[in-house]
Amino acid sequence: MRINFILCTLIISLFLLGSCKQPATSTKEPAAKSTPSGKKSSLKPPSLDFVKRLHEECDFIDYIFDDFSFSVSVKKRSSVQGNIGYLTIAQVEDINCARAIGSIYYQAKGDHIAEARVFFNPKTSCGYFVFLDKSNRPQYASNMSDSGKTFFAQVHKTSTTPAPGN
């Protein structure tokens, strides 16, 4: 019980921290290299209740990539929860910064509970998720956390690295 309380408190803290705007730093690329038509998403970010439900109920995540010859399935509970930490409750600042690279399917006890399109640009490290409703229409848009960007950068790197012996 105490571990659940600590875990819940930690997750809520991470989401709240992820939703805070970070001050600009000199390590970011110059604005001239960003997409000229930086457009803020009209979609609202997911609610804390939505993210909490995913964290508490989801026991399986499947990543299906549009252009890669592999997919990623996550079954271990702690890994599933870590992967849910890839999304934030922060609004997407620039919907033109990345293209869709695949979909994420969230399941609980074999039932489909959520679906999102993944948008990621490995060159600029811009990433976000667009969650779809049951009719496959965009419902929420969520900025990607730094750990999510690291994960998808590794996926991209893996997809562009030739297999040994090829």
pLDDT tens per residue across span 12-52: 443 333 433 333 333 333 333 333 456 777 899 999 999 99
Does residue 57 lie in a domain region?
yes
pLDDT top residue among 158 and 24: 158
Token match 């600590």: residue? 6
Q: What is the pLDDT of residue 23?
A: 36
Q: Residues 67-102: pLDDT tens digits?
A: 888 999 999 999 999 999 999 999 998 989 999 999
Does residue 32 lie in a domain region?
no
Does residue 147 lie in a domain region?
yes
Q: What is the pLDDT of residue 34?
A: 36
Q: What is the pLDDT of residue 38?
A: 65
Does residue 165 lie in a domain region?
no
Does residue 91 lie in a domain region?
yes
Residue-number span of the structural domain to which 71 is assigned: 10-18+39-160
Provide the domain count of the chain: 1
Does residue 30 lie in a domain region?
no
DSSP string across 92-159 = PS-TTS-EEEEEEEEEETTEEEEEEEEEEETTTTEEEEEEE-TTS-EEEEEEBPHHHHHHHHHHHHHH
